Amino acid sequence: MFDSEFSSIEFAGMKLANRFAVAPMTRVSAQSNGRANELMLKHYRRYAEGGFALIITEGIFPDQDASQGYENQPGLADALQGESWRPIIREVHEQGAKIIAQLMHAGAQQQYNSFGKAPLGITEQKPVGKPLGLYGDQESWQDVKAMDESDFERVLNGFLHGLRNAKEAGFDGAELHGANGYLLHEILSTHFNTRDDKWGGDMQRRAQFVLEVVKAAREMAGKDFVLGIRLSQITITDPDYQWPEGEEGFAWLVQALADAGIDYIHTTDNHANRPALKDGTRSLAEVVRDAGVPLVVNGGIDDTNYAKMAAHYPGAVLALGKAALADPQFVEKVKDGDKPDELDFAMLQPLANLENEFRWREEQDS
Ligand SMILES: Cc1cc2nc3c(=O)[nH]c(=O)nc-3n(C[C@H](O)[C@H](O)[C@H](O)COP(=O)(O)O)c2cc1C
């Protein structure tokens, strides 16, 4: 098949075997010291074996400050954590796939921090709703420390620190997590960012810190290390939030990120094609597509709609979360015309860790 979603493409400086990626998914399965382990190797390997050309890792904490959000979350905060990813990266590469590290600062959504750091936010504002039981058993959000001037510098340096370790470990690139209610998202969101100093105000002002991080990360990444950013309006507990600036504001942000040197923008929403913005008709992904910026598109993509999505977003990478979780063989199966497995959330109970998933899979097989 020529030019199909199963053909290889050049994307953001990478040659990908096809247009399917695994979306980032937190699995709280690292060692307590934040190092990746055998189980994670087994986990990531199956996606490369199952035909996914690109794996975007679960959110990884980049430093020993307030960035860690979950117990048993993997880190890239020290050299040994970086080393621990090497076997995973090697295995994924041997299967012909690429792997990008998602760098995540938990912000106000922190549920656990092994360095004893309180949640850090753009203000003291807590997220809506309750913490996710899938990632730990916290009942309510903790108090949040509002960032002062020195925190901005520390957060920026933290991202650079994680990026350097990701590069040294051999990842193909890094994705800054600016979506789903974590710190960089909070800085862009008026639910959290109500500051009246230079870090708050309209989209242009709220975006300044994110753009500073992107520019500094670009410089550190160099030319051959891919640098992406994930963006959403919604958060893990707030499916309704919208930026007040609507389509025009988002289009401005997309262009500003491109000008700052980002290689791709990864949009996520409940459904990739949903008109998302306050005063517009386009989805987040359509705005990125129309700006001509390399796009990773996520949200509700499955075996019934992937071909339509691929045609609607030419040249974009399709990132699958739940569909990949349900069936790591998704790509091989749909390519052969077979039906992939459907998701059973029982595999993520009571915690979304790999031990529970692999135990559940064994039970299904027996
Ligand atoms: C168990 C689980 C863990 C997730 N962890 C992350 C994460 O670490 N980083 C992130 O950006 N999104 C995370 N997400 C969101 C997914 O990447 C994706 O955006 C979401 O599932 C919607 O896409 P889908 O309809 O393809 O599943 C997670 C989703 C699930 C189900």
Average pLDDT, integer, range 261-288 = 97
The residue annotated as part of the active site, out of 182, 264, 306, 313, is: 182
| Contact present, 303 and 289 (Cβ < 8 Å) | no
Give residue 337's pLDDT: 95
- Regarding the beta carbon of 26 and ligand 1, being less than 6 Å apart is answered yes
What's residue 43's pLDDT? 98
Q: How confident is residue 1, by pLDDT bands cut at 50, 70 and 90?
A: very low
CA of 138 to the centre of ligand 1 (A): 20
Task: State if residue 357 touches ligand 1 by the CB under 6 angstroms criterion.
Answer: no
- Among 1-5, 87-91, 149-153, 285-289, name the one with the lowest average pLDDT: 1-5
> How confident is the model over 68-81, as a mean pLDDT?
97
Question: Alpha carbon of 364 to those of 32, 43, 202, 360, 361: distances in Å?
Answer: 29, 17, 51, 6, 5
d(CA 198, CA 364): 55
pLDDT tier, 3 (very low <50, low <70, confident <90, very high otherwise):
low
Is 25's C-beta closer than 6 angstroms to any atom of ligand 1? yes
Tell me the C-alpha distance between 243 and 250, whole Å: 8
**Ligand 1 and 54: CB distance under 6 A:** no
Greatest Cα pair distance in the chain: 60
Query: What residue ranges do the domains of the chain occupy?
Result: 9-365
Per-residue pLDDT for 194 more than 60? yes
197 CA distance to ligand 1 centroid (A)?
Answer: 33
Distance CA 317, CA 324 (A): 14
Distance CA 252, CA 339 (A): 40
Active site residue 182: yes
User: How far apart are alpha carbons 34 and 68 in whole angstroms?
Assistant: 9
8 Å CB contact between 27 and 353: yes
Closest Cα to atom 29 of ligand 1: 25
**140 or 2: which leads in pLDDT:** 140
Return d(Cα 135, Cα 353) in angstroms, integer.
8
24 lines ligand 1 (CB under 6 A): yes
Whether ligand 1 lies within 6 angstroms of the CB of 324 is answered as: no
CB of 119 within 6 A of ligand 1: the answer is no
Instruction: Find the 100 Cα to ligand 1 centroid distance in Å.
Output: 15
Q: How many Å lie between the centroid of ligand 1 and the Cα of residue 30?
A: 17
Q: Which of 25, 177, 234 to mutate to test the pocket of ligand 1 (most atoms within 8 A of CB)?
A: 25
Averaged pLDDT score across all residues of the chain: 97
pLDDT digits (tens, 9 = 90+) for 201-244: 999 999 999 999 999 999 999 999 999 999 999 999 999 999 99
- For residue 284, is pLDDT > 70? yes
pLDDT, tens digit (0-9, with 9 covering 90-100), for 79-137:
999 999 999 999 999 999 999 999 999 999 999 999 999 999 999 999 999 998 999 98
Residue 287 has pLDDT above 60, yes or no: yes
**Best probe residue, ligand 1, of 55, 73, 180, 230 (max atoms within 8 Å of C-beta):** 180
Residue 326 binned pLDDT confidence (cut-offs 50, 70, 90)? very high
Q: Which CATH architecture has domain 9-365?
A: Alpha-Beta Barrel (3.20)
Q: Please count the other Cβ atoms lying within 10 Å of the Cβ belonging to residue 314.
A: 10
- How many Å lie between the centroid of ligand 1 and the Cα of residue 58? 8
